[in-house]
Structure 1
Amino acid sequence: MNTYTKKDIVEMKELFIMRSNGHRSLFPVIVGIDKQVENIFAVPEKDAIGTIDIDNAISFLEFVNDKVKIRIIKKNFAEEVSGEYDFFFTPVYSDTDITYAQSRWLINQNLRTKENRTVFVINNLDDWIGNLAVLNAEKGIFVIEVLKGWAKGSGRAYKKFLNIGTLENEDFIPIAVVEGGLYDGLPGSIYASDYSPWAVKDGILFVFDEDSKTVKAFNENGITVDHPFSGIFNRNHKKLRKVREISFHPELPFGLVVDAGEVPDIRELQEQRNNGLISMAQYRELLKPLTEESLRHAIWLVRWDTDDENRQFVPLMSLAGNLIPFIDDVKMCSDFQFSPDGTWLVFRDNTQTVENPVFVSIPVSPDKPLFFGEPLYLGQVLREGMMVGAKGSAWIDKPTSFVVTDGQALYKWELGNIDKSRVINQ
């Protein structure tokens, strides 16, 4: 455990930002914990996050100065509350309820009554839950991505079905099902290929269709609807390569699209190498530009607050250059998350390694021409090689903070308090 005094903590927060080589860096408060914590999620409480990795329970971790106070919410409601499962958590959507997915079922915890429900969604052992989102918080409508096993090659490919529905007692009541394309790889793996990313905003489900290369919008009844985002995207989709991720601002009228090069078909090169037509050195040299293009990501801004079509679909970061100032050449990036109040964006720069990404934050404001200000680098976790998936990070609403776990320590960047900090120039 850390043993900083209260005075140390205050001084660290005063010396919050360092500027070096044109970059601003924000130092986290690092809190050691004597438990193995890999899964964390947002909770409807001030200065706290949740976890399922302590004492077979749902627990809240409350930040108190330089320490974390553990508060058990519900214990032993299952034989294995954590374990070798795939977990998917949602942002805060209710003052009283927490809902998350665990491989083939949902767990719902009421914080007021302490009632805990296990809601089975899948009965087939070949199928998995691949993601979870809240479509309509007021009505309690969720989107559950179900990956249905499909024999293709290695047998690790899945068809995606987006199940829209509500929770009633211990049942999931379906409203509609939307086809969502293919998912190739193990569920929850950071190395898997998602061929049809999807996202939700303002009660609308947006799904990228791999066949047509367009985005379709669906309401909570699974009926296709028109929306400015899909209209703008579909007019410009030929500018994109392979869409990897879609993310929406919680309030402002814009979204982000991440695209990358197509995964190359290298069978012809492999055949030439196997037949001795090219050497291994030649094979590697020919393969390099193909794989580099498939890994090179670009970030596009899609906005519908203007009628100027030249401003509706803009490459923020690409090989041609970056429109966001003071940011490094980001070739690979993922997991774009907006803060609950919409004032910050955080993403992972995977250019050096996907197993220990560099976290980058960017302030968001409707007064900026492209919504974004000067980046603030958060850095990496200390445990090299630790694969920090999306489930290893969470937002705190008050104060606005981004938290990451490396399994043995929590890293907390208090983005909402940077106006109180001093800048150190190096």
Structure 2
Amino acid sequence: MRYLPHSAADRQHMLAAIGASSIDDLFAAVPKSVLGTFSPDLPDHQPEFAVEAHMRGLAKANHAAGDGPFFVGAGAYRHHVPATVDHLIQRSEWLTAYTPYQPEISQGTLQMLFEFQTQVANLTGMDVANASMYDGSTATAEAVLMARRITKKNKVFLSGGLHPQYRDTVVTYLSGEEGLECLSPSPEGQGDIVDHIDDDTAAIVIQTPDFYGHLRNVSALAEAAHEKGALLIVVVTEIVSLGLLEAPGALGADIVVAEGQSLGNPLTFGGPYVGLLACREKFVRQMPGRLCGETIDADGKRGFVLTLSTREQHIRREKATSNICTNSGLCALAFTIHLSLLGERGLTRLAKLNHSRAIALADMLEAEGVEVLNKTFFNEMTVRLPVPAVPVVEALAAKGILAGLPVSRLEPGKPGVENLLILAATELTTDADISALVDALKGEIA
């Protein structure tokens, strides 16, 4: 079988068959700013062992998160993942399992997803959770669409404290539609989304801890939203924080979405990760993705089935509740194993340890005159340097210290963010790491 036509005539025939005039038509949805020629610097026509040697050389150029002091967070966090997690998810019955269409041969997978849903519902304080989403950002976009279906309203306000990449994902999902408004960032934690809510509002979206590390008053925001008939969507990018903070569902949230990477899933240079979505039971029919349920078979034995699966609604095309095509099953399994190993007390201890490490970081920074903007935080904070943050981060990276995320990298062109740096500390952050960061910072900002 020929996958690529060798002649121009063949290519033109295939394009005509699908109604495209040129190859460029196939990439019309991709912004021109990211299109271009890419010529990888790889050896040409080399034997396999030579290519392997070249790739090993490229890999050695990487500076991984565990190679030195590491303070990068902003939605993806370095936590310890027990060896048990990796061992179990690589068992063949898990590693090769995919979609549980036939419950009679998929009971193990279905039960795992059921347990995962139970854990997520308990963590978030909600009635029901689905069997995972792609990641936190797309789960947020799905929650916005879900809220618009429930309320029959279009207006949605995104908090300025929402992660910029989550915001951009929502904007992409709702591209061309009216009613979406993104509020200005508030690095100092000032400003409030409450003043923007009116009777036409479908939902407001807040993050806690937010992009800058501030904790939000969920109860007050829930009350303000509900008074106007709007829903409150709460986003959590650091799921470990729910081991210490009160669950959003207990504070009035209607839909909770989160990134589950922190439990069971290493950074892995950016993914794959696992999105969490939970809601009130009365909204379950509008929930995207799939839902596993517990039942009893004809013999009275306990069993598990797909109770709700909006994936099957791809047949309905534009009338479908959601067109998500799969779930992050293996990542969800890793999440469930890690959380099961921790248990409730273990998760609480882990969360307290994360917070204590962040306090140690903040105290040492302030002792050296570095301005910490946060009055409240969990394991992440924003500092204002006396100089632009990007050159400082690059200089420290050259010394083997990965010193957080300059806000300007995700908010290019925004006034007042050039000197802002977001720092995260986890249970893996040592006193020696903090001392190395502070000493190196002093040398760059003196």
**Smaller-chain TM-score bracket:** under 0.3
- The structure whose residues are more often strand, as a share, is 1
Structure ID, larger Rg = 2
TM (normalized to structure 2)?
0.22
* Higher RCO (CA-CA < 8 Å; seq separation 6+): 2
TM (normalized to structure 1)?
0.23
